[in-house]
C-alpha cells in the first residue's frame, strides 16, 4: 500500500502544479490587481481548469467501470459506441425540438448513450469467449456504424459542424463560467462509482462470484451502465469526446496498484484529471497564440499508449491473459 500512497501524493502535487500553470497561462495577460484580470480568472481560467480536471477524472472512472462490466481491459466509452450514441440522442433532440432546454438535451443524450452501451454489452456476449481482443474491435466498429448514422443525418441536416465538436475533438477553449457546469454532473456520477467501488470490483470477478456473494450482477451492471452513460453524455454535450483517457489511465493504474477499486479509483480519477489538464496546457502553449484541442493531442498520445499496452511483453505467468468475457 506504500506505493499507492506515493502515487496518490505525487499525482496530487502534479495536479496542483498543473492547475497553477493552467490558471496563469493564456492569450490574455492577467493582472490580478485589475478587475478585468480577476474576471478573466473567475470566468475563464478557473472554470477551464476545473472542466479539464472533471472531464479527465470522470472519463477515467467511467473507463474503469466499463472494464469491470464487460470484464475486458481494452474497452472504454469512446470505443464502445457510447459517445456516438450520446451524439445521436443529442442530434435527435436538436432536430426535433431545437428550443429544448439544456436539461432535456442532457437527459436525451444520457438515455441514448445508455441504450447504445447496452447494445454493445448484449452484442459482445455473442462473441467467442476466449477471443479477448474481439471485444474492443467489435466496440470500435459499432462506434463506426453509429457514427456513420450520425454523420449521415448531420450531412442531410447541415449539422456537421456540431457533430465535429461533439465527437471528433474535445476541447476546452469554449469553456467559460456558465457553460461547463454539466461536467459537475459527470463528476457526481463518477463519485457514485466510488461509493459502489466494491460492488464493481466484485462484478469484475464474474457474475457467478457476484451472485455467490449475494450481489445481483444485473443491478450492479445497470448502475455501472448508468454511470458510464451519464459521464459520457455530459462530456459530449459540454466539451466533446476526449479519446483514450478511459482506456490508458485505468490500465496504467491497474499495472501499478491493481484493481482493488476502492483503493485504485481515487488514483485513477486523479490520473485522468492530470492527463487531460496536461494535454490542455500543451495544446495552449505549443502553437500559441492559437490552440490545439486536448482531444487531438490525446488522440495521438492515447493511441500510442494503447499500442504499447497491446504489445508490451507478457507478464511472467500464463494466467496474465484476461478472463473470458461471459458477462
Partner 1 sequence: MSDTVIAPSQTQRRFPLWRNPILWLFLLLILSCAMWLFQGISGNYDFILMLRAKKLGALICVGAAVAVSTVIFQTVSANRILTPSIMGFDALYVMMQTLLVASLGVAGFAALASAPKFLLETGLMTGLALALFGTLLHRGARDIARMILTGVILGTLFRAGSGLLARLMDPNAYATVQSVSFANFARAQTDVLSIAAVVTALALAAAIWLGPRLDVLALGRERAISLGLPHARIVILALVLVAILVSVSTALVGPVAFFGLIVAGLAHMISNHMTGGARHRVLLPVSALVAITILVVGQTVFERLLGQQATLSVVIEFAGGLFFLWLLLKGKIR
Partner 2 sequence: MIEIKNVSYAIGGAKILQDINTVIPKGSVTALIGPNGAGKSSLLNLIGRIEPLQTGTIDVDGQNVTTSHSGRLARTMAFLGQHTAVASRLRVSELVAFGRWPHCHGRPGPEDHEKVADAIAQFSLRGLADRFLDELSGGQAQRAHLAMTFAQDTPWVLLDEPLNNLDMAHSRILMRKLSDLRDAGKSVVIVVHDLNQAAAWADHLVAMKHGRVVVSGAPDEVLTPDWLSALYDTEVQVLRYADRPLVLSHV
- Chain residues in the site for partner 2 (CB under 8 A): 67-68, 71-73, 197-198, 201-202, 204-209, 211-216, 254-255, 258-260, 262, 315-317, 319-320, 322-326
Tell me if the bond preceding 157 is cis, omega within 30° of 0: no
- The residues of the shown chain that bind partner 1, judged by CB under 8 A, are 74, 123, 126-128, 131-134, 136-138, 140-142, 144-145, 148-149, 151-152, 155-156, 164, 168-169, 243, 286-287, 290-292, 296-297, 299-300, 303-304, 306-307, 310-311
Q: Which is nearer to partner 2, 51 or 249 (CB)?
A: 249
Residue 322 beta carbon to partner 2: minimum distance, rounded to whole angstroms: 5
Choose among partner 1, partner 2, none what residue 27 binds, the Cβ cut-off being 5 to 8 Å by kind.
none
Choose among partner 2, partner 1, none what residue 102 binds, the Cβ cut-off being 5 to 8 Å by kind.
none
CB-based contacts of 293, cutoff 8 Å, min separation 6: 169, 170, 171, 172, 173, 240, 283
- The angle subtended at Cα 124 by Cα 208 and Cα 130, nearest 5°, is 70
Cell of 141: 466498429
Choose among partner 2, partner 1, none what residue 74 binds, the Cβ cut-off being 5 to 8 Å by kind.
partner 1
Residue given cell 462506434 in the structure block: 143
Choose among partner 1, partner 2, none what residue 136 binds, the Cβ cut-off being 5 to 8 Å by kind.
partner 1
Phi/psi at 41 (5° precision): -60, -50
**How many angstroms separate the CA atoms of 154 and 143, rounded?**
16
**How many angstroms separate the CA atoms of 2 and 127, rounded?**
40
Q: Which string of DSSP letters, residue by residue, matches 13-33?
A: HHHHHHHHHHHH-SSS---TT
Q: Which is nearer to partner 1, 7 or 153 (CB)?
A: 153
Cα 212 off chain centre by: 31
Choose among partner 1, partner 2, none what residue 44 binds, the Cβ cut-off being 5 to 8 Å by kind.
none
Q: Which is nearer to partner 2, 185 or 202 (CB)?
A: 202
Amino acid at each position: 500500500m506504500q506505493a499507492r500512497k506515493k502515487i496518490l501524493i505525487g499525482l496530487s502535487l502534479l495536479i496542483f502544479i498543473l492547475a497553477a500553470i493552467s490558471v496563469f497561462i493564456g492569450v490574455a495577460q492577467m493582472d490580478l490587481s485589475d478587475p478585468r484580470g480577476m474576471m478573466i480568472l473567475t470566468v475563464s481560467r478557473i472554470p477551464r481548469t476545473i472542466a479539464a480536471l472533471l472531464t479527465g477524472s470522470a472519463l477515467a472512472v467511467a473507463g474503469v467501470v466499463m472494464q469491470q462490466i464487460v470484464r475486458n481491459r481494452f474497452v472504454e466509452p469512446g470505443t464502445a459506441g457510447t459517445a456516438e450514441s450520446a451524439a445521436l440522442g443529442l442530434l435527435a433532440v436538436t432536430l426535433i425540438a431545437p428550443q429544448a432546454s439544456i436539461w432535456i438535451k442532457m437527459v436525451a443524450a444520457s438515455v441514448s448513450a445508455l441504450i447504445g452501451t447496452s447494445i454493445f454489452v448484449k452484442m459482445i456476449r455473442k462473441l467467442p469467449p476466449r477471443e479477448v481482443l474481439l471485444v474492443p474491435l467489435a466496440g470500435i466498429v459499432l462506434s463506426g456504424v453509429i457514427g456513420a448514422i450520425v454523420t449521415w443525418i448531420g450531412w442531410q441536416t447541415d449539422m456537421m459542424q456540431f457533430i465535429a465538436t461533439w465527437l471528433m475533438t474535445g476541447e476546452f477553449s469554449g469553456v467559460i463560467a456558465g457553460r461547463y457546469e454539466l461536467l459537475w454532473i459527470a463528476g457526481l456520477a463518477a463519485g457514485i462509482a466510488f461509493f459502489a467501488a466494491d460492488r464493481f470490483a466484485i462484478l469484475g470477478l464474474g457474475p457467478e462470484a457476484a451472485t455467490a456473494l449475494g450481489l445481483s450482477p444485473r443491478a450492479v451492471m445497470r448502475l455501472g451502465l448508468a454511470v458510464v452513460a451519464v459521464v459520457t453524455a455530459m462530456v459530449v454535450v459540454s466539451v466533446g469526446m476526449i479519446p483514450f483517457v478511459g482506456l490508458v489511465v485505468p490500465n496504467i493504474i491497474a499495472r501499478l496498484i491493481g484493481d482493488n477499486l476502492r483503493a485504485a479509483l481515487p488514483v485513477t480519477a486523479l490520473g485522468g484529471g492530470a492527463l487531460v489538464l496536461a494535454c490542455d496546457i500543451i495544446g495552449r502553449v505549443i502553437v500559441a497564440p492559437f490552440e490545439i484541442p486536448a482531444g487531438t493531442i490525446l488522440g495521438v498520445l492515447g493511441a500510442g499508449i494503447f499500442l504499447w499496452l497491446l504489445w508490451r511483453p507478457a507478464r511472467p505467468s500464463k494466467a496474465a491473459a484476461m478472463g473470458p468475457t461471459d458477462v
